[in-house]
Amino acid sequence: MTPVAGLVVRIVVAADLLGACAGRLEARELAVGAGKPYAVPSEAAAVARDGDTVTIAPGTYYDCALWHASGLTIVGTGPDVGITDSACAGKAAFVIEGDNVVVRGLSFGRIRVMDGNGAGIRAEGRDLTVRDTRFVNNEIGILAGGQGGTLLIADCVFSANGVSAEGQPTHAVLAGALDLLRIERSSFQEARGGDHIVSAALRTELVDDRLSDEGGHMSGPLVAVTGGSVLVGHTMVYLDPAAADRPGAILVTGDAGAIAVDGNTLVEPEGNVPLLRNWTWVTATETANIVPSNASAVSDSGALYHRLRGGITSLRNQIQDAKGLARHQAARLARELKLIP
Partner 1 sequence: MTAAGVTVLTMLSSQAMSATLEVGRGKQYPLPSAAAAVARDGDRITIAPGSYSDCAVWKASDLTIEGASADTTTITGTPCEGKALFIARGSNITIRNLAFTDAHVGDFNGAGIRAEGGDLTVEHVRFANDEDGILAGTLPGKRIFIRDSEFIGNGTCEGGGGCAHGVYVGGVSLLRIERSRFFGTRAGHDIKSRAERTEVIGCDIADGADGTASFAVDISNGGAVLVRDSHIEKGPRSENHLAGIMIGAEGVKQPTPEIIVENNTFLVEGNYHAYLVYNLSATDAMLRGNVLQGNARALHGDGATK
Cα–Cα distances in angstroms (integers) from residue 309 to residues 156, 247, 259, 313, in the given order: 37, 16, 22, 6
CB closer to partner 1, 8 vs 165: 165
List of residues contacting partner 1 (CB under 8 A) = 62-64, 85-88, 109-114, 137, 163, 165-166
**In the complex, minimum distance from the CB of residue 109 to partner 1, in angstroms, rounded to a whole number:** 7
Cα–Cα distances in angstroms (integers) from residue 304 to residues 134, 312, 314, in the given order: 39, 12, 15
CB closer to partner 1, 83 vs 251: 83
Cα–Cα distances in angstroms (integers) from residue 275 to residues 48, 183, 235, 239, 248, in the given order: 44, 17, 10, 10, 6
If one counts every other C-beta atom within 10 angstroms of the C-beta of residue 63, the result is 20
Q: Which of 196, 184, 185 is nearest to 159 (CA)?
A: 196
CB closer to partner 1, 65 vs 237: 65
**In the complex, minimum distance from the CB of residue 210 to partner 1, in angstroms, rounded to a whole number:** 25
**In the complex, minimum distance from the CB of residue 179 to partner 1, in angstroms, rounded to a whole number:** 33
User: Taking a C-beta distance cutoff of 8 angstroms, is the pair 306, 279 a contact?
Assistant: yes
**In the complex, minimum distance from the CB of residue 170 to partner 1, in angstroms, rounded to a whole number:** 13
CB under 8 A, 24+ apart: contacts of 58-62: 58/33, 59/33, 59/34, 60/84, 62/86
CB closer to partner 1, 113 vs 172: 113
CB closer to partner 1, 163 vs 252: 163
CB closer to partner 1, 48 vs 93: 93
**In the complex, minimum distance from the CB of residue 89 to partner 1, in angstroms, rounded to a whole number:** 10
**In the complex, minimum distance from the CB of residue 13 to partner 1, in angstroms, rounded to a whole number:** 41
Measure the CA–CA gap between 332 and 121, rounded to whole angstroms: 48
**In the complex, minimum distance from the CB of residue 169 to partner 1, in angstroms, rounded to a whole number:** 15
User: Taking a C-beta distance cutoff of 8 angstroms, is the pair 230, 202 a contact?
Assistant: no
DSSP codes of every residue in 175-200: E-S-SEEEEES-EEE---SS-SEEE-
Q: Give the 3-state secondary structure of residue 316.
A: helix
CB closer to partner 1, 42 vs 212: 42
